[in-house]
Structure 1
Amino acid sequence: MSRKSNNTAGVLAGLLAGAAAGVILGMLYAPEEGKETRKKIKTKANDFKDQAKSKYDEVSEKVKDQYGNISSTFKETAENVANTVKDGYDKYKDQIVSKTTDMVKNVESELNDLK
């Protein structure tokens, strides 16, 4: 995961935690019956849990997509490098074989001339 994604996730977690704490403190100090306050706290806690799960799923999906993109790009780049190396090898191999064959023919010719 990139540093930017880590920062975004951290900020998101901080905002959700701060909002949850604010809502809970507000309800605890509100002039209502305890049973009603606990019910509101439970409802808000469930709302925050659902929001956190939703954001987690969203971030998780983005990470999976980015991983897939990076993986595909890496694979494609590796294949391109391998093909380039193979093409270069084949090109230089053919040149070396050709030059070596020419040298052998020249040496044989020189040897024949010496006879």
Structure 2
Amino acid sequence: MSKKNNTAGVLAGLLAGAAAGVILGMLYAPEEGKETRKKIKTKANDIKDQAVNKYDEVSEKVKDQYSNISSTFKETANTVAHTVKDGYDKYKDQIVSKTADVVKNVESELNDLKQ
């Protein structure tokens, strides 16, 4: 996840740098103020649209990854639960069987003592 956070940070930095470069370039260009402001507004809208598109793209990837992780977690939890239940059932049956054997042995010993 660290690389993805770094990628998002680098992308944000690049977009901010590009925006600053475009705006500074337009401000120093030899054009009328009205035309320069129009170009700045157009470029700002373009950059905003790019940022929104990138946000939507990254957001969709995060949702997909969350869904995959969630599904994997649920599958793993189910597997663990079934394994624990199977182990419990196996050992429970063994304990019941051994306990029955012990009871039989004790009863047999008691019967032998009574005679």
- Place the TM-score, normalised by the shorter chain, in its bin: over 0.9
Distance between the aligned counterparts of 1:2 and 1:77, measured in 2? 24
Shift of 1:98: 0.1
3-state SS of the aligned residue for 2:34?
A: helix
Shift of 1:60: 0.4
3-state SS of the aligned residue for 2:41?
A: helix
Distance between the aligned counterparts of 1:2 and 1:102, measured in 2? 59
RMSD: 1.1
Residue by residue over 1:54-101, the C-alpha shift from the partner in whole angstroms, topping out at 9 and shown as x without a partner, is 000000000000110111111111111111110000000000000000
TM, length-normalised to structure 2: 0.95
Runs of 4+ in 1 over 6 A off after TM superposition: none
Distance between the aligned counterparts of 1:79 and 1:2, measured in 2? 29
Distance between the aligned counterparts of 1:55 and 1:96, measured in 2? 60
Instruction: List runs of 5+ in structure 2 lacking aligned partners.
Output: none
Distance between the aligned counterparts of 1:11 and 1:79, measured in 2? 39
Shift of 1:3: 5.2
Shift of 1:8: 1.2
Identify the structure with bigger relative contact order (alpha carbons < 8 Å, sequence gap 6+): 1
3-state SS of the aligned residue for 1:32?
A: coil
Shift of 1:2: 5.0
Distance between the aligned counterparts of 1:8 and 1:64, measured in 2? 17
Distance between the aligned counterparts of 1:2 and 1:92, measured in 2? 44
TM, length-normalised to structure 1: 0.95
Count of residues paired in the alignment? 114
Q: Percent identity?
A: 91
Distance between the aligned counterparts of 1:68 and 1:105, measured in 2? 55
Instruction: List runs of 5+ in structure 1 lacking aligned partners.
Output: none
Shift of 1:37: 0.7
3-state SS of the aligned residue for 2:108?
A: helix
